[in-house]
Amino acid sequence: MDVIANLGIGLQAALTPTMLWYCFIGVLLGTFIGVLPGIGPLAAISLLLPITYYIGADVAIVMLAGVYYGAQYGGSTAAILLRLPGTASSAVACLDGNPMARNGRAGVALFITTIASFAGAITGLIILIFFSPYIAKLGLKFGSAEYFALMLLGLVAACTFSDSPLKGGAMVVLGLLLSMVGTDVNTGVIRYTFGFSELSSGLSLVALAMGIFGVADIIRNINTIDTSQLSQRFTLRSMLPNREEWRRSLPSMARGSAIGSFFGTLPGTGASISSFMSYATEKKLSRHPERFGHGAIEGVAAPEAANNASAQTAFVPTLTLGIPGDITMALILGALIIHGITPGPQLITAQPELFWGLIVSFIIGNILLVVFNIPMIGLWVSMLKIPYRLLYPTILVFISVGVFSVSNSTFDIYTVVAIGVLGYLLSTLRFDPAPLLLGFILGPLMEEHFRRAMLLSRGNLGTFIDRPISFSILIITALAIGFIMTSSVRRRLKANKTDKASHAN
């Protein structure tokens, strides 16, 4: 019954005209950004961050969150029609969505992604509604040792699931190192500022996110994105799946939603990992794995459900523990903190109308997205026809203005240039930049909690093992590391074997 009462509070908060308006703007913008290849929700959220200074905290988060989950819906459109993923997590939708489009089933693929996205999002929201209060209660028992252990688990999980754990790990460490720039909280010593007073408060998160996910992506995408061969028209009838397609995709959506909900809740792993994992699962479970890559509808339904489920459950650790579930959540967390709200175990009880209002607005937003993505799909497809050579110079200007407006300083634009160059080099050298940003965000939090735990235990590292919750989290972390080791060794052995086999021939 608690749930109904809580949702009642939420409904009251969410059904005001301003909340509805910002929810609408957020999901509209999110779909737009998601559809356009070459600009992701992260860049869009960093751009909007300065604007949120002028509006209230609740509507700001409603809008930013709308951009985030809206982009998860829109991202698959370009992936299916042009093989150009609009967001990182929709890269998987290319694998089977694009072959479906080439087989003349583009409308069906788009329809199924929307339905799968909705199913995933609603599953994620149910998890969010029922589990958040429990996790918040558990969170009240957390001390510094537990927070440190949990963040360590997040970082380890982020590298476990990247292509090469060594490269992912190196990115985490580089991100942690970048977070050392600025004034040390405990001693007041100014580190790594190279004489620039602007750096004494640390590298700006917005500048870092825009450099890595805005500028670096643009440098990579110039001359490679070609949207000119697009010529589809969609009628509602051509979008409806037949009975066989429904039968195949419904169980996949259920599995995808479950996988996405799990990885979303885990701090450090988000939408991209969820969609990759659920695609792999579908392929493994299928009786005809050879159909995958040639337009298997399961390969479209499952990952889309997964990335939307994780986009919603990522709010669980963010809102109940104050630990960002993924990078986008970290930006949203930043926005909350700017508005003087510190998410943590007390948030649900101290500000129930904010917490439940957000959740109800997510439900409303997802319903809006179904409307945007099925009857209005033609509009988005026509937007895809805007050539990239007109888009990227415009995006660059928006990035510059956005970064400038955070603290009215051109210094941050130069920071974006430097970070953008570094980000481009790293991504071209096949490093995944997501763990870097995660390390950067969790770095200061981890340092603070580690030091506090050490101070309380007088330098005794045993404190992490003596406390039962912290100990169990560390065991899970150790298991994850063990999993990385064994799987990479197994992969090496397998590669050697095939090497020898090919030599023998």
Chain contacts with another protein (rule: CB under 8 A): 51, 166-167, 169-170, 173-174, 176-177, 180, 184, 186-187, 189, 191-192, 215, 218-220, 222-223, 388-390, 392-394, 396-401, 404-405, 408, 410, 413-414, 416-417, 420-421, 424-426, 428-431, 447, 451, 454-455, 458-459, 461
351: CB partners within 8 A, 6+ apart: 341
Query: What is the DSSP secondary-structure string of 397-422?
Result: HHHHHHHHHHHT-THHHHHHHHHHHH
Toward another protein, which CB reaches closer, 7 or 421? 421
Toward another protein, which CB reaches closer, 228 or 231? 228
Distance (Å, whole) CA 80 – CA 334? 33
Toward another protein, which CB reaches closer, 186 or 382? 186
Distance (Å, whole) CA 21 – CA 62? 10
Distance (Å, whole) CA 26 – CA 32? 10
Q: How far is the CB of 95 from another protein (least distance, A)?
A: 21
76: part of which helix (H) or strand (E)?
helix 57-82
For residues 164 and 435, is the Cβ–Cβ distance under 8 A? no
Distance (Å, whole) CA 374 – CA 298? 19
Q: How far is the CB of 174 from another protein (least distance, A)?
A: 6
For residues 358 and 8, is the Cβ–Cβ distance under 8 A? no
For residues 436 and 208, is the Cβ–Cβ distance under 8 A? no
Toward another protein, which CB reaches closer, 5 or 401? 401
Toward another protein, which CB reaches closer, 159 or 335? 159
Toward another protein, which CB reaches closer, 41 or 211? 211
Give, as one character, the DSSP assignment of residue 212: I
Q: How far is the CB of 430 from another protein (least distance, A)?
A: 5
Q: How far is the CB of 369 from another protein (least distance, A)?
A: 25
Question: Which residue matches tokens 């080099």?
Answer: 425
Q: How far is the CB of 390 from another protein (least distance, A)?
A: 6
How much of the chain is in helix, strand and coil states, percent to nearest 5? Answer: 75, 0, 20
Q: How far is the CB of 107 from another protein (least distance, A)?
A: 30
Distance (Å, whole) CA 107 – CA 237? 9
Q: How far is the CB of 395 from another protein (least distance, A)?
A: 9
Toward another protein, which CB reaches closer, 232 or 400? 400
Toward another protein, which CB reaches closer, 184 or 353? 184
Toward another protein, which CB reaches closer, 115 or 384? 384
Toward another protein, which CB reaches closer, 238 or 409? 409
Q: How far is the CB of 462 from another protein (least distance, A)?
A: 12
Distance (Å, whole) CA 26 – CA 57? 14
Distance (Å, whole) CA 436 – CA 451? 22
Distance (Å, whole) CA 501 – CA 310? 41
- End-to-end CA gap in the chain: 68
Distance (Å, whole) CA 104 – CA 95? 15
183: part of which helix (H) or strand (E)?
strand 182-183
128: CB partners within 8 A, 6+ apart: 312, 313, 315, 316, 359, 362
Q: How far is the CB of 25 from another protein (least distance, A)?
A: 14
Toward another protein, which CB reaches closer, 4 or 189? 189
Distance (Å, whole) CA 128 – CA 108? 30
Q: How far is the CB of 215 from another protein (least distance, A)?
A: 6
Q: How far is the CB of 48 from another protein (least distance, A)?
A: 11
Distance (Å, whole) CA 116 – CA 309? 10
